[in-house]
Amino acid sequence: MARIELIDVVKRFKGETVIPNLNLTIREGSFTVLVGPSGCGKSTTLRMIAGLERQTSGDIRIDGELVNDTEPGKRDVAMVFQNYALYPNMTVRGNIEFGLKNRGVPKRERERLIRDICEIAGLTPYLDKKPQSLSGGQRQRVALARAMVKNPKVFILDEPLSNLDAKLRGQMRTELIELHKRLGTTFVYVTHDQVEAMSMGDRIVVMNKGEVMQAAPPMVLYEDPDNLFTAQFIGTPPMNVLPASRLPGLRTEGEGHAEFVGFRPEHALLSPETAELTREGLVIAGQIATRESLGAEQVYKLRCEAGSFFVKSFLNPYVGGDFALAVVPFERLYFFDRDG
Ligand code: ADP
């Protein structure tokens, strides 16, 4: 278990600033997920923690110890990559054993460790197989086993599930969450997929353009986003955001100062009635543009004066072209300025 601190970390590649100034503490024993759009600096951050990339300036500490000049092999950090990075000419046993041999672990001890780890990872039947004869999920387990057997202080996982099909990905997510619980080791996990982040992390770091937009537990990001970026990154579909000046119903609430109004698609109700709704919440008149059925739930896209927005609903009476009123309880509204 280890706490990781990045203090005033700057990273430039050939003069181009990718990370302007990163300050981040990854808590000991947490399952921390770095999430953000492609190119925002997630992998670079991971690689700097692992020591595979040197920061241009700033400090990195693992368990309080400055590791700026510590080579990757000495940081006690194990990495699992998207492409597994297995040795193709070695068996499963050989792949897992390799790092142990390098560290001078005696043969009997190696055999015991491999046996235990393969039991945990469900790899016992495949010990003598080569990677190319294994499925994607099995290869991913070998990569994990190889990392686990070193008993590192920190696990670093860079989009480890992105090469798996949807079903296996779901299964491996659960396995990784259980593995983290069992080991209690600090996990730092990178993904561009907010659903994966929300379902796996106990702490999520939302990144954009090399900066931390918000770092918080998943429900805090969902319920209390600090800024427009986080609000619009988290959720499926993400939060609706409309310009406040084009929502006349708001003015009566005295919230006319903020530039944007946000609400989650699941917090709007659709109603065909005009009735007395304005007392209950913000009423937006719109027309159904599209309807996507998720089975029990429908996702409607509506167009209104102020733009378009989504409503998630268990009701199914609307079709494209229908007019409807979306009602959002006042307490479910969020207010943002452009810069947060
Ligand atoms: P993410 O993991 O969020 O997709 P990366 O950390 O891989 O983002 O990349 C962040 C930015 O740094 C990108 O613009 C990428 O092109 C650039 N970058 C990453 N590695 C290098 C490198 N070795 N040389 C030059 N530019 C790089």
Task: Supply 4's token pair.
Answer: 């990781």
CATH 2.40.50.140 is held by the domain 240-336 = yes
Q: Is 38 in the pocket of ligand 1 (CB under 6 A)?
A: yes
pTM equals 0.90
Closest approach atom of ligand 1 to CA 158? 2
Q: Is 18 in the pocket of ligand 1 (CB under 6 A)?
A: yes
Nearest CA to ligand 1 atom 22: 13
Task: Supply 228's token pair.
Answer: 């427009």
CA distance 225 to 70: 36
Report the complex ipTM.
0.98
CA of 39 to the centre of ligand 1 (A): 6
Integer angstrom CA distances of residue 300 from 169, 254, 318: 28, 29, 9
Nearest CA to ligand 1 atom 12: 18
CB 24 within 8 A of CB 7: no
Residue 22: the pLDDT is 98
- Residue from 9, 11, 13 whose mutation best tests the ligand 1 pocket (most atoms within 8 A of CB): 13
| CA nearest to 271, candidates 310, 317, 216, 233 | 317
Q: Is 39 in the pocket of ligand 1 (CB under 6 A)?
A: yes
Computed on alpha carbons and rounded to an integer, the radius of gyration of the chain in Å comes to: 24
85 phi and psi, to 5 degrees? 50, 45
Q: Is 137 in the pocket of ligand 1 (CB under 6 A)?
A: no
CA distance 267 to 160: 33
Nearest CA to ligand 1 atom 18: 13
- Residue from 18, 46, 157, 193 whose mutation best tests the ligand 1 pocket (most atoms within 8 A of CB): 18
Q: Fold identical between 4-233 and 240-336?
A: no
Plot region of 151 (φ>0 → left; ψ -120 to 50 → alpha; else → beta): left
In terms of CATH, what superfamily is 4-233?
A: P-loop containing nucleotide triphosphate hydrolases (3.40.50.300)
340 residues of the chain, pLDDT tens digit each: 799 999 999 999 999 999 999 999 999 999 999 999 999 999 999 999 999 999 999 999 999 999 999 999 899 999 887 777 899 999 999 999 998 998 899 999 999 999 988 887 889 999 999 999 998 888 988 998 898 888 899 999 999 888 788 888 888 899 899 989 988 999 999 999 999 999 999 999 999 999 999 999 999 999 999 999 999 999 999 999 999 988 877 755 545 578 999 999 999 999 876 555 566 789 999 999 999 998 889 999 999 999 999 999 987 788 899 999 999 999 999 999 876 5
CA dihedral for 50, 33, 9, 63, sign (positive or negative): negative
| CA nearest to 329, candidates 272, 266, 273 | 266
Cis amide prior to 238 (ω within 30 degrees): no
Q: Is 40 in the pocket of ligand 1 (CB under 6 A)?
A: yes
Closest approach atom of ligand 1 to CA 210? 10
CB 240 within 8 A of CB 201: no
The residue extents of the domains of the chain are 4-233, 240-336
CA of 29 to the centre of ligand 1 (A): 27
Nearest CA to ligand 1 atom 21: 13
CA of 55 to the centre of ligand 1 (A): 13
Nearest CA to ligand 1 atom 6: 41
Q: Is 41 in the pocket of ligand 1 (CB under 6 A)?
A: yes
CA dihedral for 115, 121, 123, 129, sign (positive or negative): negative
Q: Which residues have C-beta within 8 Å of that of residue 47, sequence separation ≥ 6?
A: 53
Q: Is 42 in the pocket of ligand 1 (CB under 6 A)?
A: yes
Beta bridge partners of 35: 191, 206
Q: Is 44 in the pocket of ligand 1 (CB under 6 A)?
A: yes
